[in-house]
Amino acid sequence: MYLALNDEQRLLAQTVRSFIQKELPASKVREMMATQDAFDEHLWQKMAEQGWMSVTVPSEFGGMAESWLTVAVLFEAFGWGMVPGPFLATVGFAAPLLSAAGSAEQKSRWLSAIAEGNCRASVAYLEPEGGYAFDSIRTTASETSGSYRLSGTKMFVLDAGVADVVIVAAKEAGALSLFLVEKGAAGMTVETLHGMDLSRRLTRVTLNQTPAQKMDTGKDVRQALEHALNTASLALSAEGVGGMQWILDTAVAFAKSREQYGHLIGSYQGVAYPLVDRALDLTSARSAVYNAAYAFDHRPDEICEAASMAKALVSDSYRQAGYTGVQTLGGIGFTWEHDMQLYFRRASGSWSLFGDPIWYRERLLQSLQI
């Protein structure tokens, strides 16, 4: 049925939850967050063994190219579990962009490596100024006898510190193009920013005459980037739905057990009503995400509309869930110790990631020609 999960997808969600409970208890998440890159190679390999790195990689490159609804189910479960590291950047953003804009050779090399668990990848498109618009990109590419060098500064790049390859959007003679920059390339520095979301790293990537490989020139670059923004938005929004579910479950459980003034606090309408509103938000958020996945799977003309809606809706309602979650828990919710803050901080750090809701609402209207 339309927008309903099948048995395999339900099983996948259970499998991921069991995996997280076993491999990623809260203590392990905290431990990873305390490291430089919030990354654990051993965990990454275990995730790869499950086949999760290959869900957005086409089968000709060793991937499983799952339906986007299955991809959404996977990200939702990861979001419930606060999985740290570069999974979103690699699987949700870079792999689809490689598929859309890479040459046969580039795809063969990088997509296969991603599917095998041997590659972390990211996308660098935002800059210190200019907001979310591609037109304002100032990073330049110059060509000398077939080889390219990039110069400029990229901001808010997800997990570039552990990326084996970064896809960089730059202007070549005024025209937007995409380039691949490999780890350790000359003139590239990656600095970690202090992000709201403690589970992933935002970075600044500085390029100074950095050697780069141009991606397939035959493709429409803008279209490819828009496509990858849509997949990344779907993945991030699905993750947000998982996070909202965790927050709601945790807050409701607390409201059922915490007693003040001689009553369970969940019996007070002042406590209960915001939780009801978050339950409705969650229902709508999940609908919007499944709808976006459905558009990817069945209605290509509606992808931009559906992904924009999902991203705008979830960005706002995940944050709102965080407010309610913290408030319901009271004092304990405000502590560093309780995991509620991790979800709230992720919701806050995800709000503008890949574009904020204000930008996506405008994008929605434009895609509807309103």
Partner 1 sequence: MTTSPQEQQALQDEAFRAELRAWLTAHVTDAFREQRTMTFQEKMAVRRAWQKTLFESGWIGIGWPREYGGRGATLTQESIYHEEMARARAPLAANVIGLNMAGPTLLAVGTPEQKARYLPKILSAEEIWCQGFSEPNAGSDVASLQTRAVREGDHFVVNGQKVWTSYGYVADFCILLVRTDFAVPKHKGLSYLIVDMRSPGVSTRPLVQMTGEAEFAELFFDEVRVPVENLVGSLNQGWMVALTTLMHERATLSFSIIVLFEQRLQALIELSRRSTLHGAPALNDAQARQRLARLYTDVKTFKLNTMRQMATVGQGHLPGPEGSLLKLQWSELNQRLVELAFELEGPYSSLAPDSVEAPFEGRWQYEYLRARGNTIEAGTSEVQRNIVAERVLGLPRQGA
- CA atoms lying within 13 Å on the CB side of residue 55: 26
Residue ranges in 346-365 that form contacts with partner 1 under rule CB under 8 A: 358, 361-362, 364-365
Kindly state whether residue 173 participates in binding partner 1, applying the rule CB under 8 A: no
Residue choice 61, 290, 318, 351 for contact with partner 1 (CB under 8 A): 290
CB of 290 vs partner 1, minimal distance in Å: 7
Looking up tokens 């991203």 gives 311
Q: How far is the CB of 309 from partner 1 (least distance, A)?
A: 5
Among 167, 288, 293, 307, binds partner 1 (CB under 8 A): 288
Choose, by CB under 8 A, the member of 84, 86, 242, 266 that binds partner 1: 266
Taking CB under 8 A as the criterion, the residue among 153, 192, 213, 287 binding partner 1 is 287
How many Cβ atoms are within 10 Å of 313's Cβ, its own excluded? 24
User: Using CB atoms within 10 A of its CB, is residue 327 exposed (0-12), middle (13-18) or buried (19+)?
Assistant: middle
Q: Which residues contact 272 (CB under 8 A, 6 or more apart)?
A: 255, 266
Q: Exactly one of 133, 186, 264, 332 binds partner 1 (CB under 8 A); which one?
A: 264
* Interhelix angle 269-298/303-329, nearest 10 degrees: 160
Output 10 or 22, the one with its CB closest to partner 1: 10
- Contact status: 368 vs partner 1 (CB under 8 A): yes
- What torsion do the CA atoms of 356, 361, 367, 370 make, to the nearest 10 degrees? -150
The vertex-218 CA angle with 212 and 221, nearest 5°, equals 70
What radius of gyration do the chain's Cα atoms show?
Answer: 21
Q: Does residue 283 bind partner 1 (CB under 8 A)?
A: yes
- Rounded to the nearest whole angstrom, what is the least distance from the CB of residue 370 to partner 1 in the complex? 6
The Cα 339–Cα 319 span in angstroms is 15
Main-chain phi, psi angles of 123, to 5 degrees: -125, 130
Residue 218: how many CB atoms within 10 A of its CB? 7
Find the shortest distance in angstroms from Cβ 280 to partner 1. Answer: 5
Dihedral angle sign, alpha carbons of residues 114, 78, 89, 215: positive
Pick from 43, 88, 303, 313: which binds partner 1 (CB under 8 A)? 313
Q: Is 280 in the site for partner 1 (CB under 8 A)?
A: yes
Cβ pair 140, 71 in contact under 8 A:
no
Is 312 among the residues that bind partner 1 (CB under 8 A)? yes
User: Of the candidates 74, 100, 255, 329, which one interacts with partner 1 according to CB under 8 A?
Assistant: 255
Q: Which stretch binds partner 1 (CB under 8 A): 37-45, 52-60, 198-206, 262-270?
A: 262-270
Applying CB under 8 A, does 258 fall inside the site for partner 1? no
Choices 58-66, 77-85, 123-131, 250-258 (CB under 8 A): range interacting with partner 1: 250-258
Q: How far apart are CA 64 and CA 58, in angstroms?
A: 6
In whole angstroms, what is the distance from residue 47 CA to residue 39 CA?
12
Smaller CB distance to partner 1: residue 66 or 197? 66
Q: Which of 309, 321, 329, 342: binder of partner 1 (CB under 8 A)?
A: 309
List of residues contacting partner 1 (CB under 8 A): 1-4, 248, 252, 255-256, 263-264, 266-269, 272-273, 275-277, 279-280, 283-284, 286-288, 290-291, 309, 312-313, 358, 361-362, 364-365, 368, 370
